[in-house]
């Protein structure tokens, strides 16, 4: 079972991310841009460490995978052939009151009492009445060959100004204009402010019916009825419905599809012929370059092509911090194989990917492989796993591992008319390879790393009194800064000089941080908070003041255990490198 969401923990994480420079809202000084985020000095390091490690494991440490870096803009034909132009959409529902849109499959199920209304009556507003006068009354009057149409309408407006009521004004005007008598009812009907659209409101148990009435009145007011009198129909209990807005109880409009691709124009003309899209996934450039890469890489099946890069989706509801963004990065591998190997390789890659997450410090028990059922899977996929992580806001997808058969290459082969076949030297057969795709999100994994690392524990302060310690327990491999270097006192030239020597020694090998300000305990805390796994302190022992044995040794403090050990400066680089790589 997934754990209940922990919004307090999430709030603390978001606030730490901003305070310490991991992640900022994009365009913050202008009020931000929904679904876009900027990574600050520490965030960018964390992200780079993740991407480098993925590249190392997927490309450099394997014989059977090569990399590529495709462009974000591609020929529109790619998106037609891949099916994205027609079908890359999510169903959305819209609240008729607030106009806010939600992804239909992401509305939380709710239970309660539904109040049904079959309509409302009331007065008509000026704007609607004016529109009706021009669009609905006009043809009725013209049908009568009513030469007095304009004066009649002016007369209605004048009476309405005096008495404030459109229906009454129309009735009074009809009394004075004999020609209107035969059509009087028709004209009057246009002005009776009745809205007979059915509407309903869901209220949680225990809420007073007035709350439903308030929302229903807003609904009918927006449809042109002033001071609506509701026509109540019935009330009924309901369970686990997703048809109502969780924020105000209003019945959503019918679900509609929304294409998630960002449309853009290439070149100086903005017309149909110059349309293309910002890529919504990196995979397609791998498929369309399959033949080129195959020729230059000279690989035999099974082999893979890997890519890391930006992708864009105009998500209906960006939310949960960076989890669902409109601009994000993906790390994708397309692993090409023979048809008969597909299912076995799907399981192989699932295991490889789970191992990867463990190796970057994500606990195995917080990872879940969900076997995506037939009805949720793309029609061409014979098997898909979602790797999910227990985020503080619930269990959510980190990565999809999908066996996509030969769908993608076949689509592009058919649409382009260019062969994307593989020639097997041994069997002399030609065929379109199948593919298994592990597709991971950089931003989601960065967020998982931060959520996993975040912890509050207790540690003694300068005077030995216990205080709350905020720590990010990043795996040393992922930590943005690997080592803090501290001279015990900032006003001692020898200590400072020695510490700077160590900075020069370590800098070529890792990202380090030099800090000489404040008490040493404070400096440790500052590094704990950003997840620096090691702290090196240069003290009087280092200078040889407590005997020759300790000369040129330093204290190395480990973040998680807070244990300190004495290490010779000569051994320092080797020891740290072995622990961060």
Q: What are the angstrom distances between the C-alpha of 115 and each of 89, 118, 233, 439?
A: 32, 10, 8, 45
Q: Looking at 180, 276, 314, 325, which residue binds ligand ATP (CB under 6 A)?
A: 325
- In the complex, the smallest distance separating the C-beta of residue 280 from ligand ATP, rounded to whole angstroms, is 8
Q: What are the angstrom distances between the C-alpha of 265 and each of 243, 260, 393?
A: 37, 16, 37
For residues 284 and 439, which CB has a smaller minimum distance to ligand ATP in the complex?
Answer: 439
For residues 248 and 317, which CB has a smaller minimum distance to ligand ATP in the complex?
Answer: 317
DSSP code string of 343-384:
HHHHHHHHHHHHHHHHHTT--GGGEEEEE--GGGS-TT-SEE
For residues 321 and 474, which CB has a smaller minimum distance to ligand ATP in the complex?
Answer: 321
User: Applying CB under 6 A, does 130 fall inside the site for ligand ATP?
Assistant: no
- In the complex, the smallest distance separating the C-beta of residue 351 from ligand ATP, rounded to whole angstroms, is 17
Q: Report yes or no: 275 and 83 within 8 Å, Cβ to Cβ.
A: no
Q: What are the angstrom distances between the C-alpha of 453 and each of 37, 458, 524?
A: 20, 16, 17
Q: H-helix or E-strand containing 458?
A: strand 454-460
For residues 171 and 317, which CB has a smaller minimum distance to ligand ATP in the complex?
Answer: 317
For residues 94 and 315, which CB has a smaller minimum distance to ligand ATP in the complex?
Answer: 315
Any idea what DSSP says for residue 27?
T
Q: Looking at 180, 307, 439, 542, which residue binds ligand ATP (CB under 6 A)?
A: 439
User: Which alpha helices (H) appear in 233-341, and where do they start and end?
Assistant: 283-288, 290-297
For residues 390 and 443, which CB has a smaller minimum distance to ligand ATP in the complex?
Answer: 443
For residues 216 and 331, which CB has a smaller minimum distance to ligand ATP in the complex?
Answer: 331
Q: Structure tokens of 79?
A: 């998106």
- In the complex, the smallest distance separating the C-beta of residue 120 from ligand ATP, rounded to whole angstroms, is 38
Q: What are the angstrom distances between the C-alpha of 359 and each of 53, 352, 474?
A: 10, 10, 11
- In the complex, the smallest distance separating the C-beta of residue 356 from ligand ATP, rounded to whole angstroms, is 13
All residues at 6 or more sequence positions from 155 whose CB lies less than 8 Å from its CB, including other chains: 173, 176, 177
Q: Looking at 42, 440, 495, 512, which residue binds ligand ATP (CB under 6 A)?
A: 440
Window 378-437: residues binding ligand ATP (CB under 6 A): 397-400
- In the complex, the smallest distance separating the C-beta of residue 441 from ligand ATP, rounded to whole angstroms, is 2
For residues 152 and 357, which CB has a smaller minimum distance to ligand ATP in the complex?
Answer: 357
User: Applying CB under 6 A, does 324 fall inside the site for ligand ATP?
Assistant: yes
CA-wise closest residue to 444 among 509, 383, 390: 390
All residues at 6 or more sequence positions from 413 whose CB lies less than 8 Å from its CB, including other chains: 419, 420, 421, 432
- In the complex, the smallest distance separating the C-beta of residue 291 from ligand ATP, rounded to whole angstroms, is 24
User: Applying CB under 6 A, does 353 fall inside the site for ligand ATP?
Assistant: no
Window 281-300: residues binding ligand ATP (CB under 6 A): 281
The C-alpha atoms of residue 284 and residue 292 are separated, in whole angstroms, by 14
DSSP code string of 262-284:
PEEE-SS--SGGGEEEB-S-SHH
- In the complex, the smallest distance separating the C-beta of residue 60 from ligand ATP, rounded to whole angstroms, is 22
- In the complex, the smallest distance separating the C-beta of residue 358 from ligand ATP, rounded to whole angstroms, is 17
CA-wise closest residue to 407 among 61, 23, 84, 103: 84
Window 246-285: residues binding ligand ATP (CB under 6 A): 281
For residues 85 and 443, which CB has a smaller minimum distance to ligand ATP in the complex?
Answer: 443
Q: Looking at 315, 341, 390, 408, which residue binds ligand ATP (CB under 6 A)?
A: 315
- In the complex, the smallest distance separating the C-beta of residue 316 from ligand ATP, rounded to whole angstroms, is 10
For residues 321 and 534, which CB has a smaller minimum distance to ligand ATP in the complex?
Answer: 321
SS3 257: strand
For ligand ATP, which stretch binds (CB under 6 A), given 247-255, 321-329, 416-424, 558-566? 321-329
For ligand ATP, which stretch binds (CB under 6 A), given 76-84, 172-180, 320-328, 491-499? 320-328
For residues 283 and 471, which CB has a smaller minimum distance to ligand ATP in the complex?
Answer: 283
User: Applying CB under 6 A, does 328 fall inside the site for ligand ATP?
Assistant: yes
- In the complex, the smallest distance separating the C-beta of residue 469 from ligand ATP, rounded to whole angstroms, is 31
Cβ neighbour number for residue 258 with a 10 Å cutoff: 17
- In the complex, the smallest distance separating the C-beta of residue 400 from ligand ATP, rounded to whole angstroms, is 4
For residues 159 and 316, which CB has a smaller minimum distance to ligand ATP in the complex?
Answer: 316
For residues 315 and 539, which CB has a smaller minimum distance to ligand ATP in the complex?
Answer: 315
Please identify the residue of the shown chain whose CB is closest to the bound ligand ATP: 441
User: Applying CB under 6 A, does 200 fall inside the site for ligand ATP?
Assistant: no
The C-alpha atoms of residue 439 and residue 333 are separated, in whole angstroms, by 6
Burial class (CB in 10 A: 0-12, 13-18, 19+), 565: exposed
On the question of a cis peptide bond just before residue 302, with omega within 30 degrees of 0, the verdict is: yes
Q: H-helix or E-strand containing 436?
A: strand 434-441
Q: How many residues bind ligand ATP (CB under 6 A)?
A: 16
All residues at 6 or more sequence positions from 187 whose CB lies less than 8 Å from its CB, including other chains: 137, 140, 170, 174, 180
- In the complex, the smallest distance separating the C-beta of residue 538 from ligand ATP, rounded to whole angstroms, is 43
For residues 200 and 330, which CB has a smaller minimum distance to ligand ATP in the complex?
Answer: 330
Binding map of ligand ATP across residues 442-461, x = CB under 6 A, - = no contact:
-xx-----------------
- In the complex, the smallest distance separating the C-beta of residue 80 from ligand ATP, rounded to whole angstroms, is 18
Between helix 166-176 and helix 184-191 the angle, nearest 10°, is: 160
The C-alpha atoms of residue 372 and residue 394 are separated, in whole angstroms, by 18
- In the complex, the smallest distance separating the C-beta of residue 286 from ligand ATP, rounded to whole angstroms, is 14
Residue ranges that bind ligand ATP, judged by CB under 6 A: 281, 313, 315, 324-325, 328, 330, 397-400, 439-441, 443-444
């Amino acid at each position: 079972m997934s754990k209940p969401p922990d919004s307090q923990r999430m709030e603390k994480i978001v606030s730490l991310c901003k305070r310490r420079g991991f992640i900022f809202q994009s365009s913050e000084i202008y009020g931000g841009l929904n679904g876009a985020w900027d990574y600050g000095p520490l965030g960018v390091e964390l992200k780079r460490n993740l991407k480098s490690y993925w590249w190392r494991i997927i490309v450099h440490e394997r014989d059977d995978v090569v990399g590529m870096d495709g462009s974000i803009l591609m020929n529109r034909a790619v998106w037609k052939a891949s099916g994205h132009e027609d079908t890359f959409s999510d169903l959305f529902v819209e609240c008729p009151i607030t106009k806010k849109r939600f992804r239909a499959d992401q509305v939380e199920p709710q239970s309660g009492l539904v109040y049904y209304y079959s309509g409302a009556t009331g007065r008509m507003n000026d704007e609607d009445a004016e529109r009706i006068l021009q669009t609905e009354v006009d043809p009725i009057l013209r049908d009568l060959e009513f030469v007095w149409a304009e004066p009649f309408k002016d007369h209605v407006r004048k009476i309405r100004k005096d008495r404030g009521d459109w229906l009454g004004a129309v009735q009074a005007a009809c009394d004075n204009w004999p020609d209107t008598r035969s059509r009087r009812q028709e004209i009057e009907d246009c002005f009776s402010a009745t809205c007979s659209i059915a509407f309903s409101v869901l209220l949680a148990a225990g809420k007073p019916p007035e709350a439903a009435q308030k929302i229903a009145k807003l609904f009918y007011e927006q449809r042109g009825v002033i001071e609506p009198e509701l026509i109540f129909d019935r009330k009924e209990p309901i369970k686990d419905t997703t048809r109502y807005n969780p924020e105000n109880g209003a019945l959503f409009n019918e679900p509609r599809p929304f294409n998630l691709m960002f449309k853009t124009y290439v070149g100086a003309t903005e017309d149909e012929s110059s349309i293309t899209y910002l890529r919504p996934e990196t995979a397609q450039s791998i498929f369309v370059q399959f033949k080129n890469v195959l020729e230059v890489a000279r690989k035999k099946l099974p082999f893979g092509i890997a890519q890391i890069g930006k992708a864009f989706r105009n998500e209906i509801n960006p939310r949960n911090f960076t989890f669902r963004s409109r601009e994000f990065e993906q790390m994708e591998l397309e692993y090409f194989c023979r048809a008969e190997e597909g299912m076995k390789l799907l399981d192989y890659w699932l295991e490889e990917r789970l191992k990867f997450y463990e190796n970057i410090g994500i606990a195995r028990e917080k990872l879940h492989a969900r076997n995506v059922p037939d009805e949720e899977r793309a029609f061409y996929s014979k098997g898909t796993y979602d790797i999910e992580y227990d985020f503080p806001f619930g269990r959510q997808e980190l990565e999809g591992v999908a066996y996509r058969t030969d769908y993608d290459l076949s689509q592009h082969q058919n649409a382009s008319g260019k062969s994307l076949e593989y020639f097997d030297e041994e069997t002399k057969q030609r065929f379109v390879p199948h593919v298994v795709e592990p597709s991971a999100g950089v931003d989601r994994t960065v967020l998982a790393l931060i959520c996993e690392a975040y912890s509050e524990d207790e540690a003694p302060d300068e005077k030995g009194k216990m205080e709350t310690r905020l720590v990010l327990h990043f795996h040393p491999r992922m930590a943005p800064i690997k080592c803090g270097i501290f001279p015990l006192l900032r006003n001692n030239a020898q200590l400072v000089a020695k510490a700077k020597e160590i900075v020069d020694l370590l800098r070529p090998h890792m990202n380090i941080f030099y800090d000489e300000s404040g008490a040493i305990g404070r400096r440790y805390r500052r590094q704990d908070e950003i997840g620096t796994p090691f702290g090196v302190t240069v003290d009087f022992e280092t200078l040889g003041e407590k005997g020759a044995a300790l000369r040129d040794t330093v204290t190395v403090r480990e973040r998680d255990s807070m244990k300190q050990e004495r290490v010779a400066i000569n051994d320092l680089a080797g020891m740290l490198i072995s622990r961060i790589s």
